[in-house]
Structure 1
Amino acid sequence: MERHARSGPLSGRHALVTGGTRGIGLAIARRLVSDGASVTILGRNAVRAEQMAGEIGAAGFAACDVTDRAEFTEAIAGAESLHGGVSILVNNAGQAESAPFLKTPPDQFSRMLSVNLESIVTACHAVLPGMIAAGSGRIVNVASTAGLKGYRYVSAYVAAKHAVVGLTRSLALETAEQGVTVNAVCPGFADTDLIRDSVARIREKTGREEADIIADMVRDNPQKRLIEPDEVADTVSWLCGTGARSVTGQAVAVAGGEVM
């Protein structure tokens, strides 16, 4: 996929966004394109990835399962062969499953750790050597307020997201003298397809009104609203820019004051 060179604060940078075909990931990819970056989006569905890449003017796309280490590593290598070394990595791919702890089997913990944590390890192993060699790079891990506090009935997801924040801090220390920053953004409940689908399922099961369901979701958010994906994208854009070169090892909550 060929694109004209774009001007902007991230011009000349190759950004890779996992889970970039919908929701927060798509909003981030769109924003980085507008900032001038050459963006590769990754998603599971090749047709949707190609469609969204064309829609936002991305440099390219790849379809892969981020929990398959070999397949994921190959996809990253392919993107770098086409568009140059990744200088901005946004680890957005993730998944949440819910159940009370005593009804959460060990394999659910394994799945949550695989998609939410181990995929980040794979991506960082793939791109960090190039960033260190270049003396610059930005890694942004999309965690969650679940990485900063506890929630009922999602213990496996919360454990995985806490691990993401811990990994972020450790990598930030190891790369602080190499021109690389590593940060996490931690959105609260956001207005995405996944949340809307969840609301629809709850409404079907309970008969409750949509507004009441959403109000329950955001009850801990002092602003009492869902977070817009573009708000998360704005935060990621800032972290990727030169003005945030002294910001590393941080877990930035985008959550209306839910976490202080």
Structure 2
Amino acid sequence: MEHSGRHAVVTGGGTGIGLGIAMGLAEAGAEVTITGRNQARLDAIAADHPRLHALRMNVDNVESVRNGIATAAQARGRIAICIANAGIAEPARFAKETPEHWRAIMATNLDGVFLTFQAAMATLGRDEWGRMIAISSIAGLRGLKGAIAYTASKHGVIGLIRGLSEEYMGSNMTFNALCPGYVDTPIVDRNAAQIAEHQGISEADARAALARANRHKKLLDTSEITASALWLCSDAAGSVNGQAIQIAGGHVT
């Protein structure tokens, strides 16, 4: 129960990677606030797990984030662990990219991390223990064809992590990014369905194509991302700071 007495916030905590990390932290003793837009889903999850607590919050909205984080902190204390996981992955080729789509991707994937971290860190003193982790992507380390806005947003997340690690160097807070390849989550299910429709292939073939994009030719399991996040949250990783950790089945950069 390493995190007993600590309060964690996981954005996008109702499904996929976020839910896996939230459950891992709860099993390690933390009180975990899971946020998202689907209140019914969050409530259903929290009802079955006594250390998970539902909070509807839109990370692309300043007031929603600030009010939500303040409400969570008032209920369960200062936020020692913050997992900025909420994100959207909607492909668009550069020639067909629109300013509206570009801004929507940035507002969630990049602005959302900034707003969430800023609000969470405001609950802590500068010398307090803290772990701030952003879920980026291998697209944050290399180009991803057909997803220019997504790629730029995930590169931005890594820049934010590196800047924060320098600004708070010497404190008891660390800042790191996890950069997964394709993970077996509902996002991959949606992407596979889109690929199948556009290319006239089966969804099974589309999923296989996504798996081949990982170097070891397999979809990642959410448990692999959870394990990495829990390690970064541990005291054993206290000197790991400003890193973009690749989880993609092989060398990426």
TM-score scaled by length of structure 1: 0.93
Cα drift, residue 221 of structure 1: 2.1
CA distance in 2, matches of 1:102, 1:62: 38
Cα drift, residue 126 of structure 1: 1.0
Cα drift, residue 155 of structure 1: 0.3
CA distance in 2, matches of 1:233, 1:75: 24
Q: In percent, how many aligned pairs have the same letter? A: 38
CA contact 1:141–1:184 (8 Å) conserved in 2: yes
Is 1:198 aligned with 2:191? yes
Residue aligned with 2:82, SS: strand
Is 1:33 aligned with 2:35? no
Cα drift, residue 134 of structure 1: 4.9
Structure 1 segments (4+ residues) deviating >6 Å: none
Residue aligned with 1:90, SS: strand
Cα drift, residue 106 of structure 1: 1.4
Q: Which of 9, 12, 18 is matched with 1:19 structurally? A: 12
- One-letter amino acid of the counterpart of residue 172, structure 2: G
1:228-247 correspondence runs (5 A) = 228-247=221-240
Is 1:145 aligned with 2:151? no
CA distance in 2, matches of 1:76, 1:258: 37
CA distance in 1, matches of 2:192, 2:236: 38
CA contact 2:137–2:180 (8 Å) conserved in 1: yes
> 105-114 or 48-57: which moved more?
48-57
Q: Which of 89, 95, 101 is matched with 1:102 structurally? A: 95
Is 1:177 aligned with 2:177? no
Residue aligned with 2:153, SS: helix
CA distance in 2, matches of 1:57, 1:194: 27
CA distance in 1, matches of 2:38, 2:213: 34
Cα drift, residue 234 of structure 1: 0.6
Residue aligned with 1:184, SS: strand
Aligned residue-pair number: 253
Cα drift, residue 238 of structure 1: 0.4
Cα drift, residue 112 of structure 1: 1.0
1:72-105 deviation per Cα after TM superposition (whole angstroms, max 9, x unaligned):
1101000000000000000000001212101001
CA contact 1:131–1:180 (8 Å) conserved in 2: no
Cα drift, residue 71 of structure 1: 1.2
TM-score scaled by length of structure 2: 0.95
Q: What's 1:77 paired with?
A: 70
Is 1:227 aligned with 2:184? no
CA distance in 2, matches of 1:70, 1:112: 18
Q: What's 1:64 paired with?
A: 57
Cα drift, residue 150 of structure 1: 0.3
Cα drift, residue 129 of structure 1: 3.2
Cα drift, residue 178 of structure 1: 1.5
Q: CA RMSD in A?
A: 1.4
Q: What's 1:3 paired with?
A: none
CA distance in 2, matches of 1:196, 1:29: 21
Unpaired runs of 5+ in structure 1? 1-7
Unpaired runs of 5+ in structure 2? none
